[in-house]
Amino acid sequence: MLLHYEGLTLLQRNLGHVHMGPRRMRVLFGIIGVLLMHAIEIMFFALGYAAVHAVTDGGAIHGMPHPEFLDLMYFSAITYTTVGYGDLVPIGPLRFIAAVESLAGFVMVSWSASFTYLVMERFWGSWKRLWFSVVGRGGPHLRSPRRCVDALARGLIRAGRPGRSGSPAGIVAVNRL
């Protein structure tokens, strides 16, 4: 969990400094970073299975008589993601590690989903979210933020500051990320 925490912290700090292509590329880099973290965590659990399996009577995995590392990676991945196809079943002490991995994996995947949502909310979209405050006379084009954006784009209304002359539409567009 410490690896995941540090990885998400590193991603969060550095995604704002990625200046490669459109802003939405930062979302892609965030997702790739999260997937790499999951792959590393799955590999660590596979190494744990290999270490416990190497110990005499350390347990076994039914359906995998002579496991190789890639077999253990597969078992770790289906356990981490809580898929559990049922073709492989841990026996002995490996059951405890598998139970801990499935719980940790569930937490990490959920945490990553929340992180990805926040990254998408921060960086994704072709236009920035605008919060509008209607302060004067309105009309059908001022009933929702999307209609305000459309009306601004078509030149039907102008944005201005409250209390200033030259603001016939009477709206204020506040840019907030």
pLDDT in tens, 90-148: 988 888 999 999 999 999 999 999 998 888 887 765 444 444 444 334 555 566 666 76
- Tell me what the mean pLDDT of segment 17-22 comes to: 72
Which tokens is 11 given? 């991603």
Angstrom distance (rounded) from CA 76 to CA 63: 14
Looking at residue 157, its pLDDT comes to 64
Find the Cα–Cα–Cα–Cα dihedral 86, 92, 97, 101, rounded to 10°. 10
Looking at residue 54, its pLDDT comes to 82
Query: Does residue 162 carry a pLDDT above 70?
Result: no
Q: Does domain 2-123 have CATH number 1.10.3720.10?
A: no
Instruction: Please report which confidence band the pLDDT of residue 177 belongs to, taking 50, 70 and 90 as the band edges.
Output: very low
CATH 1.10.287.70 domain extents, the chain: 2-123
- Tell me what the mean pLDDT of segment 143-154 comes to: 69
Tell me the per-residue pLDDT of 45-93, one tens digit each, with 9 for 90 and over: 999 998 888 886 777 888 888 889 999 999 999 999 999 888 899 988 8
159 pairs with which residues across the strands? Answer: 171
Instruction: Please report which confidence band the pLDDT of residue 27 belongs to, taking 50, 70 and 90 as the band edges.
Output: confident
Cα–Cα distances in Å, from 151 out to 130, 158, 159?
Answer: 13, 8, 10
